[in-house]
Amino acid sequence: MEKSVPPPFGVYVPAVVWLEENEELDEPAIRSHVLRLAQGGVTGILVQGSNGEAQHLSHEERKHAIRLTRQTLDENGFKDVLVIAGTGGQSTKESIKLCVDARDAGAAYALVLTPSTWPPQMTKPNIIRFHRTVADASPIPTMIYNFPVVTAGIDLDSDTITTLGAHPNIVGTKLSCGNIGKLQRIASALPASEFATFPGKADAHVHLLRLYKEGKLEEAIKLQALLGQADWELGKLGSIAGIKAVVTKYFGYGAPHVRGPLAPLDMEKATAEKLEQLVALEKSL
d(CA 285, CA 281): 7
C-beta neighbour count of 31 within 10 angstroms: 19
Whether 174 sits among the annotated catalytic residues: the reply is yes
The partner residues of 172 in beta bridges, in order of sequence, read: 143, 196
Mean pLDDT of the 252-268 span: 91
Residue of 79, 93, 97, 174 marked catalytic = 174
Domains of the chain: 12-202 (3.20.20.70), 210-284 (no CATH)
Q: What pLDDT is stored for residue 60 in this prediction?
A: 97
DSSP assignment of 31-89, as one string? HHHHHHHHHTT-SEEEESSGGGTGGGS-HHHHHHHHHHHHHHHHHTT-TTSEEEEE---
Evaluate whether 244 touches 257 at the Cβ level (below 8 Å). yes
Q: How confident is the model at residue 201 (pLDDT cuts 50, 70, 90)?
A: confident
Residue 54 carries which DSSP code? Answer: G
Q: What pLDDT is stored for residue 200 in this prediction?
A: 84
Q: What pLDDT is stored for residue 167 in this prediction?
A: 98
Q: What pLDDT is stored for residue 3 in this prediction?
A: 93
d(CA 138, CA 94): 11
C-beta neighbour count of 220 within 10 angstroms: 19
Express each pLDDT in 153-187 by its tens digit: 999 999 999 999 999 999 999 999 989 999 999 99
pLDDT above 90 for 223? yes
The fraction of the chain above a pLDDT of 90, given in percent, is 84
50 vs 46: which has the higher pLDDT: 46
Express each pLDDT in 81-129 by its tens digit: 999 999 989 999 999 999 999 999 999 999 999 999 999 999 999 999 9
**Residue 162 amino acid letter:** T
**Cα 259 from chain centroid (whole Å):** 18
Q: What pLDDT is stored for residue 77 in this prediction?
A: 98
